[in-house]
Amino acid sequence: RSVMSATGRLALVTGGTAGIGAAISEALLAAGYRVAAAYATNGQAADAFSTRTGIPVFAWDVADFAACQDGVARVAMALGPVDILVNNAGVTRDAMLHKMTAAQWREVIDVNLGSCFNMCHAVIEGMRERRFGRVINIGSVTGQSGQVGQTNYAAAKAGMIGFTKSLALEGASRNITANVIAPGYTDTAMVGAVRPEVLKRILESVPAGRLATPAEIARGVVFLAADEAGFINGSTLSINSGKYLA
């Protein structure tokens, strides 16, 4: 994608100051987009990210509908309307179903899936009026294949795929696309917290024998964000080394 064709477009990345989100924010900036990164709680890390990259950061809870409306309004006031939305924010609260609490279920559904509704609702009217938009939802291989101890996470990420397909149909006539990227296991703090013996089993199941880098996931976002990607709509781009083939 040429820098020229990206000029002026504003991308908003949730969970955009750490891990995969930080890589996405930086890759979009390098591709010539203006970028805003949203985060939830770690203000010190977000400020350090902003200082290092020059990307402005904004704090709000993506699980809160009103907070998303307010947050997007603050971004628009500071930088202009959002052209590209990357719903990347997510949490895990892993437990076997028979041991999972209602709170663990609800938090994952609200943050990982509810945020897609909250954030898309906040930007979709403007995208429809301007007749351009790119919505890129960061799913997971777990939402495609399932995973022991992650009924909440798998349900949220699988739900994201259905949400995205429906939004794709609604926006197509206005040049608004909605797609999912489903990463495999990626070298982030979330995966780094996995016990070594579990991580060893995970790597044995990955054809490449390694974790993805955040930059490899971000590359897919830059591809789907492009003006020239307007005919790719309602798709799920799997970036998992062939761990799961749908």
Write out the catalytic residue numbers. 153
Say how far apart CA 206 and CA 183 lie, in whole Å.
Answer: 12
Say how far apart CA 18 and CA 155 lie, in whole Å.
Answer: 24
Please give the span between the terminal C-alpha atoms of the chain, in angstroms, as a whole number: 28
Q: By CB neighbour count within 10 A (0-12 exposed, 13-18 middle, 19+ buried), where does 200 fall?
A: exposed
Tokens of 241: 């080394």
Task: Give the CA distances from residue 97 to residues 93, 157, 159, 185, 198, in Å, rounded to whole numbers and listed in that order.
Answer: 11, 17, 18, 22, 19
In the DSSP assignment, the letter for residue 18 is S
Among 18, 22, 38, CA closest to 30: 22
Say how far apart CA 78 and CA 55 lie, in whole Å.
Answer: 12
Cβ neighbour number for residue 194 with a 10 Å cutoff: 14
User: Do the Cβ atoms of 195 and 189 come closer than 8 Å?
Assistant: no
Among 183, 109, 178, CA closest to 150: 109
